[in-house]
Amino acid sequence: MVPRRRRLKKKVRYTLFFIVIFALFISLRGWRVFASDTKDNIEIQVEERAPVPINQIVENADSDIPEAAKFDKVVNNFMHQWSIAGASVAIMKDGNLIYSKGYGYADVENGVPTEVKHIFRVASVSKLITAVGIMKLVEQGRLRLDDKVFSASGLLPEYDDYRDKRIESITVEHLLRHQAGFGVGAGDAMFDGHKMGLELPMSVSSLVRYSLKRGLRYSPGKSTIYSNIGYLVLESIIEKVTNQPYQTFIKDEILAPAECFDMHIGQNLSSQRHENEVRYYEQSDAEPIPSADGSGRLLPKSNGGNNVELFGGAGGWVASPVELVRFVASIDPNNPHSNVLSRESIKSMTICEKSRLPIGWMGVTANDDWWRSGSMAGTSAMVRRQSNGYTWAFITNTSNWKGYVFSRMINDMMRKAFDKVAEWPEKDLFSKGAVQE
């Protein structure tokens, strides 16, 4: 017989063994929880340390320099002449931000002066952003410029309700260059859908289907007619190819690498504005139109009448001039900050041809100047990249009766203002952002 004391010792050893195993299990489990919590905390810290947008760091005071006093006078006189409530400008030279300032009021009713931080609707400047997104997909091998769009084997075969068989020959490049064949003789459905009998609120799908049912004015590639619908189709292509929202892809793949963190798709109503977004103003005789939401209310085009959210890749972005010039720097092979597209892609976008428009840009000159304008109720925008190393952007929060022609006047005003500055000081306001990130 085994002594009782030995049996007890054996039981104690077994008990201690199981206690140790259990303690190790609890300890390891706790460590995993702790590690998980630590990981979560690290991720949260990374999110909290996201880069501060450069337009929220640079201030008007940074450009209060005597060399630009006459420049400011030209801008202020221009604003007074055209009853512009507020405007903002940014000037870059060889990749350095040398000047940035707001003028007038971002919000007249509340007496808020325009600052560098304020963001504006940029209207058709949005098309340049969309075009860069398409070119990025081409570089990634996920798309080709000669891909068919509406054929049974095309990129968007779900759009099949049309009679005009020429539609099946539309390519991605036709859309980029406004050569798809869409006409605007009866009006631009994106702005005038309510006049054409389209049910409100409209969607990209309803606009595209309506345009396809109307048929083409000419065969794709045979002529050029400016088309907002074409860039809405390009937005749909980006979403189809990437399987994610258009804005998400653009922000992640285009704007983040360009270090533009305060650019967004705008909203329809003044009450829905983004942080630091300006109020918008129209000419005094502007007539209201049926609300874009289909409620039947009559609203100003700049405050609920136009469907800015719908305009998206054709005209829906909001941005500051500072981040616009930084974006252009990212697609300029002569700029040290160029990192979004290859030289080959940029070259294909900026070939100067008399027979067709460039890709994304509105105009390219023989001496290698590129420009893009945008206008709609409540805003006029212009961005220009010059072969002499200067890139500038000018945006207003007020529209006028001249519409898209006003961009020429902005260009003339900026040329006159530049002539008033004998020499810009050598500095780089972009460097302020490096301290804050």
Q: Which residues contact 411 (CB under 8 A, 6 or more apart)?
A: 371, 382, 384
Q: Which residue has the tokens 């020499």?
A: 423
Give tens-digit pLDDT for 368-398: 999 999 999 999 999 999 999 999 999 999 9
Q: Give the C-alpha separation, 127 to 228, whole Å.
A: 9
**Per-residue model confidence (pLDDT) at position 282:** 97
Positive or negative torsion for Cα 351, 242, 228, 171:
positive
Residue 11: inside a domain, yes or no?
A: no
Does residue 30 form part of some domain?
no
pLDDT of residue 328: 98
Q: How many residues does the chain have?
A: 437
Cα angle 97, 103, 108; round to 5: 140
Number of structural domains in the chain? 1
- Cα separation, 419 vs 426, in Å, equals 17
Does the residue 141 lie in any domain? yes
The alpha-carbon radius of gyration of the chain (Å, integer) is 28
Percent of residues, the chain, with pLDDT higher than 70: 88
Strands 363-364, 370-376: pairing is: antiparallel
Q: pTM value? A: 0.88
In a domain, 318, yes or no: yes
Of 5-9, 231-235, 316-320, where does mean pLDDT reach its minimum? 5-9
The mean pLDDT value for 64-93 works out to 97
Q: Is residue 171 in a domain?
A: yes
Residue 380 within any structural domain of the chain:
yes
CA dihedral 388, 115, 419, 425 (to 10 degrees): -70
CA dist list (Å): 276 to 121, 124, 187, 270, 362? 12, 21, 33, 12, 28
Domain assignment present for residue 42? The answer is: no
Axis crossing angle, helix 308-315 with helix 228-242, rounded to the nearest 10: 90
Q: What is the pLDDT of residues 157-198, one digit of tens each?
A: 999 999 999 999 999 999 999 999 998 877 798 998 888 889
| pLDDT tops 90 at residue 222 | yes
Average pLDDT value for the chain: 90
Burial 248-265 (b: 16+ CB within 10 A, else e): ebbbebbbeebbbbbbbb
16-31 residue pLDDT tens? 555 545 555 445 444 4
Q: Is residue 86 part of a domain?
A: yes
Report pLDDT for 345: 98
User: In the beta sheet, which residues pair with residue 121?
Assistant: 318
Q: Is the pLDDT of residue 405 over 80?
A: yes
Range of the domain at 126: 55-436
pLDDT computed for residue 354 by the predictor? 87
CB under 8 Å, gap of 24 or more: what pairs does 408-414 form?
409/78, 409/82, 410/373, 410/380, 410/382, 411/371, 411/382, 411/384, 413/74, 413/75, 413/78, 414/89, 414/382, 414/384
- Measured CA to CA, the distance from residue 103 to residue 113 in angstroms comes to 7
CATH number for the domain that contains residue 181: 3.40.710.10
